[in-house]
Amino acid sequence: MKEIIFAVKESEEGGYIASGLNYSIFTDGDTLEELKENIKEAVLCHFDDNMSKDSPIL
């Protein structure tokens, strides 16, 4: 499994924005917990051909 590092910053509109370094994966969330779940979903969508929903992420 590859490691994907995300840069996380606060959004000007409130909440948080995450972007994958070296990958075109972007998502946001109102709370850090929501952001974490959205990151998992975004990674699964990005690699949907090679991963299953049971793959260990985060």
1-54 per-position pLDDT tens digit: 578 999 999 999 999 999 999 999 999 999 999 999 999 999 999 987 665 555
Answer whether residue 52 is part of any domain: no
Answer whether residue 56 is part of any domain: no
Locate all alpha helices (DSSP H) within 1-58, ordered by sequence. Answer: 32-46
pTM of the model: 0.79
Answer whether residue 22 is part of any domain: yes
Answer whether residue 51 is part of any domain: no
Quick one: which of 57, 53, 5, 10 has its CA closest to 32?
10
Q: Provide the pLDDT for residue 47.
A: 86
Answer whether residue 55 is part of any domain: no
Quick one: which of 24, 25, 29 has its CA closest to 13?
29
Q: What domain count does the chain have?
A: 1
Residue-range definition of the domain harbouring residue 30: 6-46
Distance from CA of residue 32 to its chain's centroid?
A: 11
